[in-house]
Structure 1
Amino acid sequence: MTSLVFRALDKHVVAGLADDTAVQDERGPLSYAELTHESACVAGAISHLGVERGTEVAIDIPRGRILAIAVLACARLGAVPGAGGAYRFEGETFHTPDTEVAWDLLMRAGRSEPAPAPHNDPEGYEALMREAFDDLFSALLAGGTAT
């Protein structure tokens, strides 16, 4: 089976739904194409900071586009959600064991090398991500809008 993040995002873009709204928050709509691009860019940036498949990443962000981008960036790399990770998203800052990186810098840093969706997920990964972020994945997998 193809990866969760591919089915939640990339598949919709390829199927011609790129301009459909994927996330709606107080900042307005974010299309499937925009969400795919933004999450790939953040994934590219955080991979250079040490996040890879199996890395535990804590995500402490309220609902909305930044949460969606952070979760989907982690899914592109196969990172797992966890409360005690040395890597964590808090608001608009990404913390590593050695440094903090502002959200806008992550967005710019990943533009040159966005991360693709993996071909498949490790066993149990989809269940883990859906347990942690089911509202987001249920909406996107159905081609709907997450709020």
Structure 2
Amino acid sequence: MTSLVFRALDQHVVGGLADDTAVEDELGPLSYAELTHESACVAGAINHLGVESGTEVSIDIPSGRNLAIAVLACARLGAVPSAGGIYRFEGETFYTPETEVPWDLLMRAGRSEPSPAPDSDPEGYEDVMREAFPDLFSSLLAGGTAT
């Protein structure tokens, strides 16, 4: 089966919904194409910081675009949401065991090497992600708008 993040984002972009609104928050709308690009860039950046498939990542960000980007970046890498992860998104910062990276720098850092969606997910990964972020994935998989 095709990966969860591919079906939630990339498939909509190649299927003609690139300009449709994927996320809307106080900053305004973010299209499927923009969300795909931003999450791929953040995935590339956090991968360079040590996040890979199976890495536990804590995500403590209010709802909206940054939450969606962080979750989908993790999904591109196969990272697992965990309250106790040593890698963590908190507010406007990403923390690793060695450093902290402000969100705006993280967003720029991955632009040179964005991470593609995986072909497939590890066994049970989709269930974990859909349970952790049900509203986000339900909306995106249906081609709707997450808030």
TM-score range, shorter chain: over 0.9
Q: Which amino acid aligns with 1:71?
A: V
- Displacement of 1:40 after TM fit? 0.1
| Equivalence for 2:72 | 72
Q: Which amino acid aligns with 2:40?
A: A
| Equivalence for 1:23 | 23
| Equivalence for 1:8 | 8
Q: Residue deviations 1:29-56, cap 9 Å, x none?
A: 0000000000000000000000000000
- Displacement of 1:92 after TM fit? 1.1
Q: Which amino acid aligns with 1:29?
A: P
| Equivalence for 1:84 | 84
- Number of residue pairs the alignment of both structures matches: 147
Instruction: Mark the runs of 5 or more structure 2 residues left unpaired by the alignment.
Output: none
| Equivalence for 1:61 | 61
Q: Extract structure 1 runs of 4+ deviating beyond 2 A.
A: none
- Write the distance in 2 (CA, Å) between the matches of 1:36 and 1:92: 20
Matches of residues 51-130 of structure 1 in structure 2 within 5 Å?
A: 51-130=51-130
- Displacement of 1:141 after TM fit? 0.1
Does residue 135 (structure 1) correspond to residue 132 (structure 2)? The answer is: no
- Write the distance in 1 (CA, Å) between the matches of 2:60 and 2:108: 21
**Any idea what SS the aligned residue of 2:133 has?**
helix
TM-score calculated relative to the size of structure 1:
1.00
- Displacement of 1:87 after TM fit? 0.1
Identity %: 86
Q: Which amino acid aligns with 2:65?
A: R
Q: Residue deviations 1:86-113, cap 9 Å, x none?
A: 0000011000001000011111110000
Q: Which amino acid aligns with 2:114?
A: P
TM-score calculated relative to the size of structure 2:
1.00
